[in-house]
């Protein structure tokens, strides 16, 4: 789905008509006429299935056709798992801690940037900091190698 969205396709709120398929339909980019709707799970790539799908919420029939740009190479759409993927609770907890740390660091970095600090193209080397960029205080004239991480370490 993400691949199609990057190409301008729209994720609709219309569910697939196939029984037990909860996947929402994708609609072709606005520049493509007539509009095309398809299910990435049931229909495969647009153009590989015969025109059969219609939208009940629109009076215009939606056909499965090829993209309007023939130079764009086709790519495979990853298969959608049959059941939802559940993450290990410890991984979810770690992700929440990292997100909270990132939010705190982002807020503090924003404050410091407004005070004249500079954000560097380096991340904190501390293992407890996850992708937090280093900052340095405003220059006062001389060479100042000070680099600061504004994240609070994970508990």
Asked if 113 contacts 127 with a C-beta cutoff of 8 angstroms, the reply is no
Domain count, the chain: 2
Instruction: Based on the fold, state whether residues 4 and 76 are members of the same structural domain.
Output: yes
Instruction: Based on the fold, state whether residues 3 and 78 are members of the same structural domain.
Output: yes
Distance CA 91, CA 97 (A): 10
Distance CA 151, CA 34 (A): 51
The pLDDT tens digits of the residues spanning 8-19 come to 888 888 888 888
Instruction: Based on the fold, state whether residues 54 and 112 are members of the same structural domain.
Output: no
pLDDT at 126: 86
Length of the chain: 155
Residue 35 located in a structural domain: yes
Residue 155 located in a structural domain: no
Q: Which range has the worst mean pLDDT, 42-46, 64-68, 92-96, 114-118? A: 64-68
Residue 142 located in a structural domain: no
Residue 21 located in a structural domain: yes
* 89: three-class secondary structure by DSSP: helix
- What is the span of the domain harbouring residue 26? 1-82
Instruction: Based on the fold, state whether residues 5 and 69 are members of the same structural domain.
Output: yes
Residue 154 located in a structural domain: no
Residue 73 located in a structural domain: yes
pLDDT greater than 70 at residue 97: yes
Task: Return the higher-pLDDT residue of 64 and 39.
Answer: 39
Residue 146 located in a structural domain: no
Instruction: Based on the fold, state whether residues 50 and 105 are members of the same structural domain.
Output: no
Instruction: Check the CA dihedral 80-54-34-64 and report its sign.
Output: positive
Residue 153 located in a structural domain: no
Instruction: Based on the fold, state whether residues 3 and 70 are members of the same structural domain.
Output: yes
């Amino acid at each position: 789905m993400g691949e199609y969205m990057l190409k301008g396709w729209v994720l609709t709120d219309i569910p697939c008509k196939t029984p037990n398929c909860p996947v929402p339909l994708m609609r072709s980019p606005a520049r493509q006429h007539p509009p095309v709707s398809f299910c990435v799970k049931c229909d495969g790539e647009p153009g590989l299935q015969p025109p059969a799908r219609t939208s009940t919420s629109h009076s215009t029939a939606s056909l499965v056709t090829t993209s309007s740009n023939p130079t764009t190479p086709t790519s495979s759409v990853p298969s959608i798992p049959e059941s939802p993927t559940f993450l290990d609770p410890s991984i979810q907890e770690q992700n929440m801690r990292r997100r909270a740390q990132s939010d705190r660091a982002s807020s503090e970095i924003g404050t410091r940037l407004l005070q004249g600090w500079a954000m560097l193209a380096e991340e904190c080397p501390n293992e407890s900091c996850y992708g937090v960029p280093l900052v340095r205080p405003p220059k006062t004239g001389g060479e100042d190698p000070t680099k600061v991480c504004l994240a609070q370490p994970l508990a």
